[in-house]
Structure 1
Amino acid sequence: MRTDPSGALTTFTRLGFAARGLLYLTIGFLILRTGRTEDTSGALSVLAEGGGRTLLYVMIAGFLAYGLWRLSDAAFNIERHEEGKKGLAERGGAAASGIVHLFLAWQAIRLVQHAGSGGSSGGSGTQEGAQTALQLPGGQLMLVVAGLVLLIVGAVQLKKAWKAEFLKHLEPSVAHQPWARYTGQGGYAARGLVFLISGAFLTAAGFKEQAGEAGGMEEALTWLTSPWDSIVAVGLILFGLYSLIEARFRVINDVPVDGLASKARSKLPI
């Protein structure tokens, strides 16, 4: 029987939403239960320690499919974004999200390859990246721009939370449920705040030319004091729960795999 590659990608994309949800649930619960702050990479390591290779293989499949689906959206507008600047910005965001999730898949693959070899290396990956950037021509400007991009992303997340724009992607029967709305609003608000703090850190690192000023999610969560750290932790748990809602109820337009393959073959020289 012939399988439908588009349908298979959609199924695994839902698995990607679930994997993302599991990461954010882990980050939030670590803060509330132990006071430990981690970013998505750190949460992946924690899950690898508890769930082993089987869980990692499942998450790798999910992240790969999700990443490819988001990149396909950026390239072919399968989510039917509107024309103009807003649509282009949304497709740009889809591309960035796709790259991030492919990176998470790569990190999970590395964890599988190095299973049992000991803990992760210390130090902040964000600060190491900032240090590398500052050594390049125009590195200071690169950091400032990266920080400003994160600030914009954070503002967009807060806008989504305020207007509940995320609900348009859910099945109508679920989108009208208050529990879906409030779960998503709390999650996007917390995520937006973390992006704003991270963007401020990165922008400051660029202006001061000091890599030690840079910080990602882990540093942003560490910077928060009580009770804000707990409030944001609850918000990240809500984002994890909303990701699980999306895994089941998000309307996902199939990637026309066969059609794209046919177009590619038609352009090949005979």
Structure 2
Amino acid sequence: MNTSARLTMLTRLGFAVRGALYLVIAFLILRTGRAEDPAGALRYLGESGGQLLLGIMAAGLIGYGIWRLSDAAFNIERHDDDKHGVLERVGAAASGVIHLFLAWQAIKLMQGAASSGGDSTQEGAQTAMSLPGGGVLVMLGGLILVGVGILQMVKAVRAKFLEHLDPGVARQAWAQWSGRIGYAARGLVFMISGYFLLSAGFQERSEQAGGMEKALGWLTNPWDIVIAIGLLGFGIFGLIEARYRRLHDAPVDGMVRRAVNRV
């Protein structure tokens, strides 16, 4: 098995890990009313599953993160050359960075480092506020997040994500609707988080900012339950992608050979 094939295998594991994190987020809301983001779900699984589970999750997240960054750099998912394709690749880069950060958190948990459990979005807003024009930067981040949320909603309506699945599975109602409600719920959460950033930037108060955890905690009954069901669908769809998504190999072997030749 070459390096590209190993990365593809780890990417499938990464899809499964991402799905599991969203299943945990939905489970915690539905069972206890507790709002968490993917980092909080990772801590929850680490507390209950131990070192082995954290190691498996870290490996999957690393593979998934590298694959997303490879897509951004080399267009391995064959996005169009229009504005939408550019946005897809920018989103892939952001997703890659986020999931590599989650992998780093999993490794730190394996090493016994205590997690602060703070809101990274709020911390980032606080850092931005200390810069010249920080309020504008935070508002720009909010607009981007709202835009990402809208794109997720568009995905839910158009269901173009089904094009990446094996055709036989893509025709199944359970695959279609788990993805639709999942992307719709995720899009709404991103839009709420973007609103928090816009408010924080406009008022120049970093404590107004917040990510998924704050957005889910802000929702009241029955909307928190509705969104939780949607995120449950996204978690299920992640597991479907882990098994049935058609993946193009990242050109890792060529990169390694070129690096060796230069040395």
Shorter-chain-normalised TM-score: which range? over 0.9
Candidates 225, 228, 242, aligned match of 2:223: 228
The one-letter code matched in structure 2 to 1:138 is G
1:131-158 deviation per Cα after TM superposition (whole angstroms, max 9, x unaligned): 1211112211210111111000000000
Candidates 14, 29, 32, aligned match of 1:34: 32
Report the Cα offset of residue 264 of structure 1.
4.0
Candidates 87, 90, 108, aligned match of 1:89: 87
- DSSP-derived class of the 1:136 partner: coil
| CA RMSD, 1 decimal | 1.4
- DSSP-derived class of the 2:86 partner: helix
Candidates 166, 188, 192, aligned match of 1:193: 188
Distance 1:84 1:264 in 2: 31
Structure-2-length-normalised TM-score: 0.96
Report the Cα offset of residue 240 of structure 1.
0.3
Aligned residue pairs total: 263
1:106-125 deviation per Cα after TM superposition (whole angstroms, max 9, x unaligned): 1111111126x6xx435433
Partner of 2:61 in structure 1? 63
1:69-109 deviation per Cα after TM superposition (whole angstroms, max 9, x unaligned): 01011111111111122221111111111011001001111
Taking structure 1 as reference, are residues 147 and 263 closer, same or farther at Cα in structure 2, changes over 3 Å only? same
1:107 corresponds to 2:105: yes
Report the Cα offset of residue 259 of structure 1.
2.1
Candidates 233, 256, 259, aligned match of 1:261: 256
Provide structure 1 residue ranges, at least 5 long, that are not aligned to the other structure: none
Q: Is the 8 A contact 2:37 2:212 kept in 1?
A: yes
Distance 1:39 1:227 in 2: 19
- DSSP-derived class of the 1:254 partner: coil
Partner of 2:153 in structure 1? 158
Report the Cα offset of residue 265 of structure 1.
4.6
Provide structure 2 residue ranges, at least 5 long, that are not aligned to the other structure: none
Distance 1:182 1:55 in 2: 29
Partner of 2:244 in structure 1? 249
1:238 corresponds to 2:236: no
Distance 1:12 1:247 in 2: 10
The one-letter code matched in structure 2 to 1:216 is G
Q: Is the 8 A contact 2:135 2:202 kept in 1?
A: yes
The one-letter code matched in structure 1 to 2:8 is T
Candidates 20, 23, 27, aligned match of 2:21: 23
1:184 corresponds to 2:182: no
1:52-85 deviation per Cα after TM superposition (whole angstroms, max 9, x unaligned): 1110000000000000001011111111111122
The one-letter code matched in structure 1 to 2:56 is V
Distance 1:61 1:78 in 2: 21
